[in-house]
Chains A and B, each alone.
Chain A
Amino acid sequence: EVQLVESGGGLVQPGGSLRLSCAASGFTISDHYMDWVRQAPGKGLEWVGRTRDKVNSFITEFAASVEGRFTISRDDSKNSLYLQMNGLKAEDTAVYYCARGGRAGTEEWYFDLWGRGTLVTVSS
């Protein structure tokens, strides 16, 4: 089955760190751009960042709101994606979704597969 499963969410104090994981099955993540999207409680969707595919050297890009605090990495042996979040703020409280993005050489620039999400709460 083609799916994404996030884990690693929880309660963390302001200034703390957390690493989210996204395990993929049914496809190879290195062939795809992989993105993180978040949704604060009762709010809309916000793009967080992405890692490009193997063809594009896995370059990472981020929203200004998290640039310098968040990083994205991959472990192709585990077919998994990670979001390392440092310097967390109350405004980072959200459900974090892993999503499959596009592929080089195609026009498939949309999120066609989403995980169920994992909740991150930043509070003292």
Chain B
Amino acid sequence: DIQMTQSPSSLSAYIGDRVTITCRASQTTLSYLNWYQQKTGKAPKLLIYATSILRSGVPTRFSGSGSGSGSGTDFTLTISSLQPEDLATYYCQQSYTIPYTFGQGTKVEIK
């Protein structure tokens, strides 16, 4: 199975800060890497798919990227300017191979 490791596990930032979450795969997932946002008590919501494609309707302060080396193992979710409504846990997920696997989550809090 492909192991997905996110860092950090949690972070606290100010409104307006730039926030970066990383996700590392134990082996290549090519570009099959998705990001979800989950607010407390709610189902996850898709934010970004195929590494960097922003889902329609998702604010443009969210962006995704993969490492420049093209290894297909290192990925980043960036919130360019943190907003109060971004309080949530964020998960990466690989959809390259079954079993699909998720990162352990990154809890984002507001200072």
Determine if B105 is an interface residue (Cβ-Cβ < 8 Å).
yes
Does B3 sit at the interface, judged by CB under 8 A? Answer: no
A112 at interface by CB-CB < 8 Å = yes
Interface of B is mostly: loop
Measured between alpha carbons, how far is A115 from B42 in the docked complex, in Å? 9
Q: Is the interface of A mostly helix, strand, loop or mixed?
A: loop
Are A111 and B46 CB-contacts (below 8 A) given A44-B91, A44-B105, A45-B91? yes
The listed residue (B55, B100, B103) touching A44 by CB distance below 8 A is B103
* Most chain A CB inside 10 Å of its own CB: which residue of B38, B44, B50: B44
Q: B52 in the interface, Cβ–Cβ < 8 Å?
A: no
Chain A residue nearest to B44 (CB atoms) is A114
The residue of chain B having its C-beta at the shortest distance from the C-beta of A108 within the complex is B49
Q: Contacts of B38 on A, CB cut-off 8 Å?
A: 45
Decide: A111 and B102 in contact? CB cutoff 8 A. Answer: no
Residues facing A in B76-111 (CB within 8 A) are 91, 93, 95-96, 98-105
Q: How far is the CA of A110 from the CA of B33 in the complex (A)?
A: 8
Tell me the nearest residue of chain A to B99, going by C-beta: A63
